A and B are shown apart, each in its own frame.
Chain A
């Protein structure tokens, strides 16, 4: 069966890409770690670079993979929700909303000399995500044109970023530099503790999304048909909004706003697998997002080493052209 072959080959390619990029990411950097050494470190036999690999590179790799997957999945869910192929957490301003509330929280706590835990970070960024999301929902109830929705989202994103910049500029704290760095998006400085927290948020969300495959497939046909097929549309819409917000909040909390992954990856996955079935799309988008972000992080770390690029610049470089491509293709279909 041709369909099945495509499915198997697609997943095989994604897995190979994932493994390959993990190895490459461990290997590359200011200190080179040979594949032989990697194996011996992973097996616990130790080596000269145990600390670098165990406490810097591996958590960062896990984070990039998890957060990349979360972004792509969040993008797919939003695209389903808005029936709009270029919807995504960044482009709709949801990441920026999360960033704003997160910065306010951080500055608030830091100025009082209180350390902020991972869970509080996620909560703050979830509140911000929901705030932006409610604006987007409000606008989407008024405008039906897909391009207008996107423009509104981009504007919300700009407003949030501008306010964040003000806040950071006027905050008098030594952590400003870090904050500024984070607000551009980066996977650096992630600890195993962080990875644990993000995994415990993202992986359950992934499972829930996968279990929602069936109503998602119904919803893809349109709300009217979904309802007639037996989907409780109100509850389902709420679930989609919550899931996608949780996912993008988790990402923003740990890595700042990362652009275009949510739009580009689902689109690439759709063209590889030639299907929009959520049963395939959800795991494939997650894997694809992981691969995409590992690749981008590799480039961000190593392209101009020792200077590190912001991850968002790299994802935008690859992701934005994909968005343009999607829009052009849509235009052609509508003619």
Chain B
């Protein structure tokens, strides 16, 4: 297809002549974000490094804007492709602004002196990453996050048509992670740039990418839209997750469930159950959860953490059969915790359960949750 801005054809990559991944075929269009995900050491960086020519290709070609990159002049590539890599950029005695200005290199003259236009582009790029406050400070003295933003600004003022980023969010806190990705989105929308990057954060990859490439055990395993890639089973298999689980809907991770005979029955719903489930999991208390509708937020977490979960289908009432099942499960538990204070027409069964537990003297108030792991000594 001719719409690919950069694509690989039968590319083999690896180190010292030994192929690590063979026959890679990936491509990015302009105005699109392609993200590489996969476990550590699977070869995401190797693919990116090969595509920017930091590593020699072992076979195949990389085609940039319709031309084989190997045959292109360095200067021509530099005007089309910018990079933000994990390698430390040495910047002795340089301010942040100086570093950003190095992005103008492919456009300056013989001696590399900046023109007025160049300087304006530099300022524009700094403004784009909101770096005005620290751009005049020495590059070696600003924080990793600020550095990363300036490196992006540097890539931006290179006026590329494709930006390649290797784990650009690694050193950033949540706020700056989001900001950085927002800036990428903006570049894609406003300047029709193609973005090719690797990301560690699955939740962010799921939300920002137009397409996702999964690299696992030295092969390109799958390629598709986030909707196709981000399913619980696939992600768990891709990363070989044994402890814990991945929730594709929330893009979140849960710790592994505590197995064994449930010691507590947790009556949850509407998000009230989640903190209790997590507290019990942390303290290693096996528990059962109920009665939840499958469209309840608590359901997703209970499924991941509870030994057993009693649930009804979405939008369905809690019928007698479900109540019976919950009763039986509750009978096997020493304690019952009710996270709810209000009940409605759809979860009358939960009220019944609570009242029965109270009558049996099993109901443990929320503020005495810790009895379950301290053994219930007087506080």
A interface residues (Cβ-Cβ under 8 A, vs B): 83, 211, 213-214, 217-218, 220-222, 224-225, 227-232, 270, 274-276, 279, 333
The answer to whether B102 touches A229 (Cβ under 8 A) is yes
Are the C-beta atoms of A276 and B93 separated by less than 8 Å?
Answer: yes
In the assembled complex, the Cα of A222 lies from the Cα of B88 at a distance in Å of 8
Question: Are B112 and A222 closer than 8 Å at their CB atoms?
Answer: no
Decide yes or no whether B270 CB sits under 8 A from chain A: no
By secondary structure, the A interface counts as: helix
A83: chain B residues at CB < 8 Å are 90
Contact in complex: B75, A221 (CB < 8 Å): no
The 9 closest A-B pairs by CB, nearest first: A230-B78, A214-B112, A230-B75, A229-B105, A230-B74, A276-B92, A276-B93, A228-B83, A230-B106
Q: Are A218 and B105 in contact (CB under 8 A)?
A: yes
Q: Using a Cβ–Cβ cut-off of 8 Å, how many residues does chain B contribute to the interface with A?
A: 34
- Find A225's partner among B74, B83, B110, B111 (CB 8 Å cutoff): B83
Chain B positions within 8 Å of A, measured between CB atoms, are 52-54, 73-79, 81-83, 85, 87-94, 99, 102-103, 105-106, 108, 110-113, 140, 158
Q: How far is the CA of A21 from the CA of B33 in the complex (A)?
A: 62
Asked whether A225 lies within 8 Å of B78 as measured between CB atoms, the reply is no
Whether B75 lies near A224 (C-beta < 8 A) is no
B105 touches A214 (CB 8 A): yes
List 16 interface pairs A-B (beta carbons < 8 Å), by A numbering.
A213-B111, A213-B112, A214-B111, A221-B91, A224-B85, A224-B87, A227-B52, A228-B77, A228-B81, A230-B74, A230-B77, A230-B105, A230-B106, A270-B92, A279-B111, A333-B140
B112 with A224: CB separation less than 8 A? no
Q: Which residues of A contact B90 (CB under 8 A)?
A: 83, 220-222
Q: Decide if the interface of chain B is mainly helix, strand, loop or mixed.
A: loop
Q: How far is the CB of A15 from chain B (nearest CB, A)?
A: 21
- With CB as the reference atom, state the residue of chain A lying closest to B113: A279
A220 to B94, CA, bound (A): 11
Chain A contacts for B102, CB-based, 8 A: 217-218, 221, 225, 229
Beta-carbon contact of A228 and B52 below 8 Å: yes
Q: How long is the Cα–Cα vector from A150 to B79 in the complex, in angstroms? A: 37
Residue of B at shortest CB range from A232?
B74
Which has the most chain B C-beta neighbours within 10 Å: A214, A225, A228, A229? Answer: A228
CB distance from B128 to the nearest CB of A (A): 19
Residues of B within 8 A of A224 (CB): 52, 54, 83, 85, 87
A211 touches B93 (CB 8 A): no
Chain A contacts for B81, CB-based, 8 A: 228
Chain B positions within 8 Å of A220 at CB level? 90-92
> Which residue of chain A has the shortest Cβ distance to B105 in the bound complex?
A229
What distance in Å separates the Cβ of A231 from its nearest Cβ neighbour in chain B? 6
Distance of A239 from chain B, by nearest CB (Å):
14
**A270 CA / B93 CA spacing, docked (Å):** 9
CB proximity of B290 to chain A, nearest CB, Å: 56
Shortest CB distance A301–B (Å) = 36
Closest chain B residue to A271, Cβ basis: B93
Residues of B contacting A214 with CB < 8 Å? 105, 108, 110-112
**Which residue on A lies nearest to B103, using beta carbons?**
A229
**B-side contacts of A232, CB under 8 Å:** 74
CA distance A225 to B113 in the complex (A): 18
With both chains docked as a complex, state the minimum distance between the C-beta of A322 and any C-beta of chain B, in angstroms: 17
Q: How far is the CB of A144 from chain B (nearest CB, A)?
A: 13
Contact of A227 among B74, B92, B113 (CB under 8 A): B74
Q: A230-B79, A230-B105 are in contact. List 13 more A-B contacts (CB 8 A).
A: A214-B105, A218-B105, A221-B102, A222-B88, A222-B89, A222-B90, A224-B54, A224-B83, A225-B89, A225-B102, A231-B74, A276-B94, A333-B140
Task: Give min CB distance, A208 to chain B, whole Å.
Answer: 13
For residue A221, give the distance in angstroms from its CB to the closest CB of chain B: 5
